[in-house]
C-alpha cells in the first residue's frame, strides 16, 4: 500500500516536472516563409533593409543566387539581390564591412581562397 502511494507521488512529480520544463521554454515557432527548392540553402541573419528588423539572406548553390528575405513582421518576403559565380561552393557571413551602417555580406570561396564583400547598395 505504501509503495503504491509512493509510485503515485513519483508519477505526479514527473508530470509536474515535465510541465515546468515546458513552461521554461522560450521559443514559440511559427512559419514565416517557404523556400524553393526546399533543400540546399544557407542562411544568415542581418538587418539588410535598415529598418531595424532583422532580415535573412539566403544563398542557393544550384544557381548562385543570393536572396534577401525582408522581415515584414510575421513573414519574410524574398527578393533576389545578387548572383555569384561560380554558383556553388560559397560560404557567406553578414556584417557591416564598409562601416556605413548597412549590413553587407562577405563570401568566401574555397577554390582559390578569396573573400568577396557584397556591399549593400541600399537599393531595395
Q: Which residue shows C-alpha cell 549593400?
A: 120
Edge-to-edge strands of the sheet including 55-60? 42-46, 55-60, 65-71, 76-83
Considering the complex, what minimum distance in angstroms separates the CB of residue 68 from Ca ion? 9
**Residues 87, 92, 96, 102, CA torsion sign:** positive
- Nearest CB to Ca ion, comparing residues 43 and 88: 43
Beta bridge partners of 94: 105
Q: Which residues bind Ca ion (CB under 5 A)?
A: 47, 49, 51, 53, 55
Considering the complex, what minimum distance in angstroms separates the CB of residue 115 from Ca ion? 24
Q: What is the largest CA-CA distance in the chain?
A: 76
- Nearest CB to Ca ion, comparing residues 60 and 102: 102
Question: What is the spatial distance between Cα 100 and Cα 25, in angstroms, rounded to a whole number?
Answer: 37
- Nearest CB to Ca ion, comparing residues 55 and 104: 55
Considering the complex, what minimum distance in angstroms separates the CB of residue 51 from Ca ion? 4
Considering the complex, what minimum distance in angstroms separates the CB of residue 110 from Ca ion? 30
**Nearest position to Ca ion, beta carbon:** 49
Amino acid at each position: 500500500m505504501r509503495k503504491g502511494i509512493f509510485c503515485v507521488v513519483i508519477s505526479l512529480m514527473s508530470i509536474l516536472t515535465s510541465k515546468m520544463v515546458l513552461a521554461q521554454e522560450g521559443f514559440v515557432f511559427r512559419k514565416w516563409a517557404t523556400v524553393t527548392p526546399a533543400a540546399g540553402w544557407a542562411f544568415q541573419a542581418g538587418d539588410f533593409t535598415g529598418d531595424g528588423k532583422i532580415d535573412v539572406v539566403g544563398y542557393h548553390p544550384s544557381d548562385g543566387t543570393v536572396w534577401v528575405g525582408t522581415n515584414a513582421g510575421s513573414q519574410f518576403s524574398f527578393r533576389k539581390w545578387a548572383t555569384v559565380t561560380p554558383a556553388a561552393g560559397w560560404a557567406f557571413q553578414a556584417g557591416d564591412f564598409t562601416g556605413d551602417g548597412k549590413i553587407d555580406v562577405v563570401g568566401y570561396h574555397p577554390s582559390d581562397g578569396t573573400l568577396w564583400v557584397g556591399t549593400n547598395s541600399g537599393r531595395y
